[in-house]
Structure 1
Amino acid sequence: MNTASTKKDIEFRDTASSAASAADELSDVQGEKMVLNMGPSHPATHGVLRLRLEMDGEIITKAEPDVGYLHRGDEKIAENMTYNQFIPYTDRLDYLAPLANNVHYVLAVEKLLGVEEKIPERCQYIRTICCELARVSAHLLGLGAFAMDTGAFTVFLHTFTEREKIYYLIEALTGARFTTSYTRVGGLARDLPEGWLDELSKFLDEVEVNFEETERLLTRNPIFLERTQDVGVISREEAIDFGLSGPNLRGSGVEHDVRKA
């Protein structure tokens, strides 16, 4: 039996050119005009947001956001509590990054009290680690959900696998996955558990390799590329005029990052 293997080169289409040519062909085509209500609970928004969309065929010509569905009166609730009593409420401000909410709240209180210089250095380092874990976890959800909505479902599985590892670390540290309530004014609820830093180091070594695989799954996926490249382009001038910030601003060619300014 012949078991010799053969190699076959796979050619990817120039998705940017095909998308541009398709857009030119459809530029003069007028579709059916309609108004679409999107949200406040919609599978593509992954949050509570309502948008009133005016459509020309499949082209969104106008979008009016309707915000406030997550308004819970936290500031009013805080008026009847001590500073530490309010910490559990900060978990709910952004359930994707509760540790970051905990840290930022106590930082504000400590600055208000004028005690920020008295916080132990070890505590500051642990708080920073917490914020970074929360940030990476939130980005993993954002990337995975975005990839799933644009035809790269496997990436969603990869990012959620790594996110689950972060939740394991968070639960070992705080006793909870979401409602962490880990910080206290002037410090933390508890120190790092024994062996926790070793588990964190192991995760960091693994996640770097796994991210490279995840990137390949995206950048070599013609469906994902066709649905993202040269779609919804915002010029440098438009970005500045609309006051965009963060990745949207930098993606439009404006090299500005407030973290480095």
Structure 2
Amino acid sequence: MSQVANRLKPFFENIHFETEDNTMIVNFGPQHPSSHGQMRLMLELQGEEVVKARPGVGYLHRGMEKMGENMIYNEFLPTTDRMDYIASTSNNYGYALAIEKLLGIEAPRRAEVIRTMLLELNRITSHLFWLATHALDVGAMSVFLYAFREREFAMDLIEDYCGARLTHSAVRIGGVPLDLPEGWCEKLENFLKILEVEIEKYEGLLTENRIWRMRLENVGTISPELAKTWACSGVVLRGSGIKWDLRKEMPYGLYDELDFDVPVSSTGDSYGRYKCYMQEMRESSKILKQLIPMYNESKCELMAHAPEYISASKEDIMTQNYSLMQHFVLVTQGMRPPKGEIYVATESPKGELGYMVVSDGSPYAYKMKLRAPSFWHTGIFEDLLPGHQLADVVTIVGSLNIVFGEIDR
């Protein structure tokens, strides 16, 4: 043993253990349950403190934009469900609205009422999902169970309308495929009564909870300047004190006729964003209550009348030869929008969701570009995480409410 030790002695003499400025690089994700999808965060740690952070987003490759350029316009609409799969109706609506602007058509009023109902109901389900998973990440198990209970009730309503619970495809270019089922509005009113009571209970469990406040207050603070630098939107922007909501600032659909407030927090931290999310669910409930009488007063027209681009009603297709031929051409060959380009942005539950479409007059988009909020909210980790403890990374990632389906390119 002494001979072996003597031979190894020069080797060990050259090893030096650093005691100062010693950092360690760890990977958070892409399989970590709190990474909200296929995200890889490369964190450089000085003890428990994050010194440097670099997000990696290249672990989900579906080529969504290229798929949109290689499908006829109507064919691509169900694919948009798979972007932010927690709020698929928002994706459907944003895309349909962009193509309608390109075509120069408008959906009938009753269709817009139904669309707005689905959008706000979907906003509630998205926020409930965020609350449940964020609370679970931080350690609050009970809230996860309660929030998912109400989310299931909301998804029951969406399923009653379109038959799907997650990927809805409940919107069409030019309107909606179906009218609301009988008694649907009454079920919606009952759900909203339950939801308002349950939101109070969620807040009773969390808002003044000492552990919740310790984990969220002064954690992940985003200044207004930093939020604008990284093109933040939605609650991430409003949580930093900037009152900007596309439903108010650049109204689309029926939002200019609806009375609702835009919740804002001046703290910029995770706790401020939490309070914005809770208040937004109340505002969505307020919007839905206003839409019910608007639905009852509207005429039963569900699709725009534009035979060159939009198929006739099913009744006309089954009884009129010309409508059947036109439908056959649109399904097999696709519509041919006029040449031009359009960018349409809507306020999804996570922020500004924009579709840029360039048409060359063919049945396929010449160019498509998607502006998804989660992409920008992932980039901000580079500036936001340094200086925080490793345990705070989970809190910050959760508070930004990112979904990696819409980061895919």
Same fold (TM over 0.5): yes
Question: Aligned-pair distance for 1:242?
Answer: 4.8
Matched, 1:252 2:240: yes
Question: Which residue of structure 2 aligns with residue 98 of structure 1?
Answer: 88
Query: Bigger CA drift: 226-235 or 51-60?
Result: 226-235
Query: Bigger CA drift: 93-102 or 227-236?
Result: 227-236
1:181-196 matched pairs, under 5 angstroms: 181-196=169-184
Match for residue 153 of structure 1 among 141, 154, 157: 141
Match for residue 195 of structure 2 among 201, 207, 212: 207
Look at both structures and tell me which one has the larger radius of gyration over its CA atoms: 2
Question: Which residue of structure 2 aligns with residue 9 of structure 1?
Answer: none
TM-score by length of structure 2 reads 0.53
Which amino acid in 2 is paired with 1:93? M
Query: Bigger CA drift: 106-115 or 181-190?
Result: 181-190
* Shift in CA distance, 142/57, structure 1 to aligned 2, threshold 3 Å: same
* Shift in CA distance, 183/51, structure 1 to aligned 2, threshold 3 Å: same
* Shift in CA distance, 247/101, structure 1 to aligned 2, threshold 3 Å: closer
Question: Aligned-pair distance for 1:52?
Answer: 0.7
Matched, 1:221 2:223: no
Match for residue 65 of structure 1 among 37, 55, 65: 55
Gaps of 5+ in 1: 1-29
Question: Which residue of structure 2 aligns with residue 3 of structure 1?
Answer: none
Query: Aligned-pair RMSD on alpha carbons?
Result: 2.1
* Shift in CA distance, 121/243, structure 1 to aligned 2, threshold 3 Å: closer
Verify the 8 A CA contact 1:92 1:98 in the aligned structure 2.
Answer: yes
Query: Bigger CA drift: 160-169 or 229-238?
Result: 229-238
* Shift in CA distance, 31/223, structure 1 to aligned 2, threshold 3 Å: farther
Matched, 1:113 2:113: no
Counterpart CA distance in 2 for 1:236 and 1:83 is 38
Matched, 1:125 2:110: no
Verify the 8 A CA contact 1:152 1:221 in the aligned structure 2.
Answer: no
Question: Which residue of structure 1 aligns with residue 36 of structure 2?
Answer: 46
Gaps of 5+ in 2: 1-19, 250-409
Counterpart CA distance in 2 for 1:242 and 1:83 is 31
How many residues are matched?
230
* Shift in CA distance, 32/258, structure 1 to aligned 2, threshold 3 Å: farther
Which one has more relative contact order, counting CA pairs under 8 Å at least 6 apart? 2
Counterpart CA distance in 1 for 2:125 and 2:117 is 12
Question: Aligned-pair distance for 1:173?
Answer: 0.7
Verify the 8 A CA contact 1:44 1:149 in the aligned structure 2.
Answer: yes
Which amino acid in 1 is paired with 2:69? E
Which amino acid in 2 is paired with 1:136? I
Counterpart CA distance in 2 for 1:70 and 1:192 is 36
Counterpart CA distance in 1 for 2:230 and 2:167 is 36
Question: Aligned-pair distance for 1:39?
Answer: 1.3
Question: Aligned-pair distance for 1:236?
Answer: 4.4
TM-score by length of structure 1 reads 0.80
Deviations 1:193-234 (CA, angstroms, capped at 9, x unpaired): 111111111101110111011011001321111111122334
Question: Which residue of structure 2 aligns with residue 37 of structure 1?
Answer: 27
Deviations 1:133-190 (CA, angstroms, capped at 9, x unpaired): 1111111111111111112211111111111111111111111111222222212121
* Shift in CA distance, 207/65, structure 1 to aligned 2, threshold 3 Å: same
Counterpart CA distance in 2 for 1:184 and 1:250 is 31
